[in-house]
Amino acid sequence: MDAKYGLPKNLMQWVDNHRDRLKPPVCNAAIFPDGNYIINMVGGGNQRTDFHDNPTEEIFYQLRGEAFLVVWDRGRFERIDLKEGDIFLQPPHLIHSPQRPDPNGLCLLIELPRPQGKQDSLQWHCAHCGAEVWKATQQLESLVDDLPKVYDRFYALKDEERVCPDCGTQHPGKDYRIWHEQLSRSSVRDF
């Protein structure tokens, strides 16, 4: 027998053994790092202001706690709740920002390897008017390794490099509280 990715394992025991990797800032660890499916466990409490444009589908299975996605679609911010026990198949290119305020939350996230030439984007939007403030597009090889490098590039920008090109609102960078406070007063928010 060549069960080359390992024998079945107890998922919650795996969680207990990888608790440290499910904490901020990454909150994300691969359960079967050698397989073709990307099967990750995602913890909480994240504090993200980025949006993700994935050229492939994503499956979210919210095992514990609650989370939500802020979605940027057709010029509006909308919200998709992930309640405990919910499963969601997200279509390609639905631009989303996963919000996981619960430090004990757990979500099983299943993604596909990206076909060559199909690129992911991480992008930051003006909370006030929705305009794109900054974006990085690349061929994604590893969720766990590639994404934090893009965050670091955005967070390193100067204040004047994070000004909305449309309305002039200052994007607060990684300041999640200010970004969400701006979002609560947004002119393009539907929740």
Residues engaged in binding Fe ion (CB under 5 A): 126, 128-129, 131, 164, 166-167, 169
Helical (H) or strand (E) element with 173:
none
- Cβ closest to Fe ion, residue 126 vs residue 136: 126
Which pair of structure tokens corresponds to residue 156?
């390193």
Instruction: Return the number of the residue (148 or 165) whose C-beta is nearest Fe ion.
Output: 165
DSSP letters, 101-154, are: --TT-EEEEEEPPPPTT--EEEEEE-TTT--EEEEEEE--S-HHHHHHHHHHHH
Closest distance of CB 177 from Fe ion, Å: 18
Phi, psi for 183 (deg, rounded to 5): -65, -35
CB closer to Fe ion out of 29 and 183? 183
Q: How far is the CB of 128 from Fe ion (least distance, A)?
A: 5
Q: Assign 183 to helix, strand or coil.
A: helix
CB of 124 to Fe ion, least distance (A): 11
Residue 65 and residue 104 in contact, taking contact as beta carbons nearer than 8 Å: yes
Placement of tokens 């979500």 in the chain: 107
- Nearer CB in complex with Fe ion: 87/167: 167
Q: How far is the CB of 131 from Fe ion (least distance, A)?
A: 5
Considering the complex, state which of residue 64 and residue 135 has its C-beta at the smaller distance from Fe ion. Answer: 135
**Could you tell me the smallest distance in angstroms from the CB atom of residue 134 to Fe ion?**
12
Tell me the three state secondary structure of residue 188: coil
Minimal distance, residue 129 CB to Fe ion, in Å: 3
**Contact partners, residue 131, CB within 8 Å, separation at least 6:** 125, 164, 165, 166, 167
Task: Name residue, tokens 């794109």.
Answer: 132
| Closest to Fe ion by CB, 94 or 131 | 131
